[in-house]
Amino acid sequence: MPELPEVETVRRGLQPAMEGARIVRAETRRADLRFPFQDDFVARLEGQTVAGLGRRAKYLMADLSSGDVLLMHLGMSGSFRVVTVDGHVTPGEFHYPRNEDRAHDHVVFHMSSGAAVVFNDPRRFGYMKIIARSLLDEEPLLKGLGPEPLGNAFDAAMLAAATAGKATSLKAALLDQRVVAGLGNIYVCEALFRSHLSPKRKASTLADKKRAPTDHAKRLVASIHDVLNQAIEAGGSSLRDHRQTSGELGYFQHSFQVYDREGEKCQTRGCGGTVKRFVQNGRSTFWCPTCQK
DNA sequence: CCGCGGGCCTGAGAGC
DNA sequence: TGCTCTCAGGCCCGCG
């Protein structure tokens, strides 16, 4: 499911239930998600207060009073919901991603705020890991990550330097979390469309001979900023699994201009082209060959 | 360094 | 209705 806007939406939804509250009880309802839970997973959570809930790329990070950090990744189909202790969902009734039972509720945090925070993940590509804050810099899951696309470190100069000399395609480079961390298939397709750049273009064309950013790089960075900010504002995109923590859908999918729109007319003014789909690095790319060069 | 295929999982939707 | 097949917001590994 989730790319940066979806994870950020989840973070904002969990904040009121978790920040400043203590984890009274933690339940793991099976032995593993993508990986087995650490042996001391529950023990390191129970009794700890969540000082803050942050995000790095597509990871949620809960700062615990013990000095540990709980790292959470939603994989493809993970979602969180916030439920009050009497079984009623806050604020509205939760609608499961699929109209099924709770078979895929794998982790529950019972908070002193009175809320239960439930992690549901049918495909179980998601995972959780507890890391001592002092070891965060050496954590393999985080170590190679590039800059946050909405952070100060991400700009045209940085992007040009990171892609200079790369033989790979522009699309593959943007999906590479070492280049920039948080984009996925949807928002890469959308950002490339908005900047009129072909997904097939060589990534190295974002830089000139002196490794300085071209106008393409500047356009692309602006498009990435725009599409991510707009998607966050819309509560993310709900195609199959993504839900806000209230169970509500995100609605940015209605604003897609190319993703999942094969065969539709290109929305670029005066273009007249048609949205096409092809497989690139094993993933669907949606684009307009007429106006993306 | 790069692309590709396969794997991890479950479920939805299409086609027959 | 039900089967089979393809595909899915991620990411990792090994091969050539």
Q: Which residues touch strand C (CB under 7 A)?
A: A 1-3, 6, 34, 57-58, 73, 75-76, 123, 125, 141, 177, 184-186, 236-242, 282-284
Which part of chain A is CATH 1.10.8.50?
A: 156-287
Active site residue A3: yes
A134-152 in b/e form (b: 16+ CB < 10 A) is: eebeeeeebeebbbbbeee
Which residue type occupies A41? F
Which part of chain A is CATH 3.20.190.10?
A: 4-143
pLDDT (0 to 100) of residue A240: 82
Task: Kindly report the number of other CB atoms within 10 A of residue A219's CB atom.
Answer: 18
Q: Which residues touch strand B (CB under 7 A)?
A: A 34, 76-77, 98-100, 103-104, 122-125, 166-169, 172, 240, 280-282
Task: Kindly report the number of other CB atoms within 10 A of residue A225's CB atom.
Answer: 15
Q: Options 3.40.50.150, 3.40.350.10, 3.20.20.20, 3.20.190.10; which CATH number does A4-143 get?
A: 3.20.190.10
User: Active-site residue among A3, A6, A8, A190?
Assistant: A3
pLDDT in tens, A168-179: 999 999 999 999
Whole-number mean pLDDT of chain A?
93
A175, A183 Cβ separation under 8 angstroms: yes
CA A281 / C1′ B3 distance in Å: 7
* A247 pLDDT tier (thresholds 50, 70, 90): confident
pLDDT in tens, A157-210: 999 999 998 999 999 999 999 999 999 999 999 999 999 999 999 999 999 999
In terms of Cα–Cα distance, which of A204, A189, A215, A219 is closest to A288?
Answer: A189
pTM of the predicted model as reported, rounded to 2 decimal places = 0.95
- Which CATH architecture fits A156-287? Orthogonal Bundle (1.10)
